[in-house]
Amino acid sequence: EGELALAECVVYLAVAPKSNAVYKSFNAARAFVRQDVTRPVPLHLRNAPTRLMKELDYGKGYRYAHDEEGAFAAGERYLPEGMAEPGVYQPVPRGLEIKIGEKMAELRRRNRDAGKA
């Protein structure tokens, strides 16, 4: 019966709108992180398995997105201090990517409203 599910996947993929946005984004993201590998991970994102790490404020102020409204920690910062958001994913105006673009716009608005975009 697994063969039928695979056949349905093949048909879906064959007729789905095509886009190379993810491919381009992946390559842009790799280039982005390679441009400056010396910046430290923000303290609030670091795991604190030891008492010393807790004393150094590792993990302090971390917001678990799954516990936030809409499972999104509006205004949370994930990049090192001083590093601008790269905006590497640019959805194309076709198929599901239209909805993805709308969702991204909504999340950017929520970040702006939180005062930390």
Over residues 22-79, the pLDDT tens digits come to 999 999 999 998 988 889 999 999 999 999 999 999 999 999 999 999 999 999 999 9
- Which position has the token pair 């404020």? 57
- Mapping DSSP to helix (H, G, I), strand (E, B) and coil, where does residue 74 land? coil
Return the domain boundaries, the chain: 21-113
Confidence of residue 116 (pLDDT cuts 50, 70, 90): low
Q: Which helix or strand (DSSP H or E) is residue 3 part of? A: helix 2-15
Burial status of residue 88 (CB atoms within 10 A of its CB: 0-12, 13-18, 19 or more): middle
Compute the distance between CA of residue 27 and CA of residue 85 in angstroms, rounded to an integer. 16
Fold classification of 21-113 is post-AAA+ oligomerization domain-like (1.10.3710)
